[in-house]
């Protein structure tokens, strides 16, 4: 009997603490509606379904104001940003997203631009390689090209020096 008493007290204390914590959380959530910043943080990731290419957080139409109110209500219900975005997609379609979902035909939007950039970069590299210094070719074909070039430069230097000497 004496042993049971501390256990009972312990369980009751734990239950009281848990109840107090839960009640505290419920009290904290209730009277605090989502702020404008919280609403806009979700809204800026969505686009107005009526006026194209306008993010929802800056869209001035009545429809957008209604949608921002909807976001506020959903946040107040405890929905996460992803859940709210999914709600908007389910209701208004994929075009409300600021980027197309990575499914089906939409993959082209993700694959084509990097592919084009890659091909462009390859093309630039090849072009730059082709623009290297001119190559000297010996008509005799005996010496290699760099040797022929060195000889040609030496010959020019020798003739230049000879000309300078003559003029002195």
Partner 1 sequence: MTEEIKTLPPKRGAPLWAQILTLAGLIALLTMVWLILGKRQQGSVQPGEVIPDFSLTLFKDYQYNEQTQVSLSDFAGKVVVLNFWASWCKPCEQEAAELEAAWKFYEARGDVIFLGIDYVDTEPEALLYLKKFGITYPNGPDLRTKISQMFRIRGVPETYFINRSGVLRYVQVGPFTTLQQIQSIVDSILAE
Told to check if 136 binds partner 1 by CB under 8 A, we report yes
> For residue 43, what are the contacts with CB-CB under 8 A and spacing of at least 6?
55, 56, 57, 67, 68, 71
Segment interacting with partner 1, rule: CB under 8 A, options 11-19, 25-33, 36-44, 83-91: 83-91
- Locate 73 and state its tokens: 């209500």
Selected from 121, 151, 160, 161, the binder of partner 1 by CB under 8 A is: 151
Q: How far is CA 54 from the centre of its chain?
A: 19
Selected from 14, 18, 58, 116, the binder of partner 1 by CB under 8 A is: 116
Told to check if 95 binds partner 1 by CB under 8 A, we report yes
- State residue 47 phi and psi, 5-degree precision: -115, 145
Segment interacting with partner 1, rule: CB under 8 A, options 7-15, 21-29, 36-44, 59-67: 59-67
> For residue 151, what are the contacts with CB-CB under 8 A and spacing of at least 6?
143
Residues β-bridged to residue 97: 46
- Restricted to residues 22-41, the positions that interact with partner 1 (CB under 8 A) are none
Segment interacting with partner 1, rule: CB under 8 A, options 6-14, 30-38, 77-85, 113-121: 113-121
Residue 45, CA atoms < 13 Å, CB-side half-sphere: 14
Told to check if 90 binds partner 1 by CB under 8 A, we report yes
Q: What is the DSSP letter of 52?
A: T
Minimum distance from residue 39 beta carbon to partner 1 (Å): 14
The angle formed by the CA atoms of residues 9, 14 and 15, to the nearest 5 degrees, is 100
What does the binding site for partner 1 look like in residue numbers (CB under 8 A)?
49-50, 61-63, 66-67, 69-70, 89-95, 108, 112, 115-116, 119, 122-123, 126-127, 129-132, 134-139, 148, 151-152, 155
């Amino acid at each position: 009997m004496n042993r049971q008493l501390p256990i009972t007290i312990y369980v009751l204390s734990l239950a009281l603490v848990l109840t107090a914590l839960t009640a505290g959380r419920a009290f904290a959530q209730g009277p605090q509606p989502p702020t404008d910043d919280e609403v806009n943080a979700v809204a800026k990731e969505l686009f107005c379904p009526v006026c194209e290419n306008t993010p929802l957080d800056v869209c001035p139409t009545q429809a957008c104001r209604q949608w921002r109110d909807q976001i506020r209500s959903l946040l107040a219900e405890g929905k996460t940003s992803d859940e709210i975005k999914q709600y908007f997609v389910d209701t208004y379609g994929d075009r409300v997203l600021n980027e197309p979902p990575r499914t089906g035909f939409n993959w082209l939007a993700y694959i084509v631009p990097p592919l084009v950039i890659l091909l462009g970069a390859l093309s630039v590299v090849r072009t730059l390689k082709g623009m290297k210094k001119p190559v000297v070719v010996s008509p005799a074909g005996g010496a290699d090209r760099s040797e022929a070039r060195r000889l040609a430069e030496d010959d020019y230097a020798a003739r230049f020096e000879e000309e300078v000497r003559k003029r002195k």
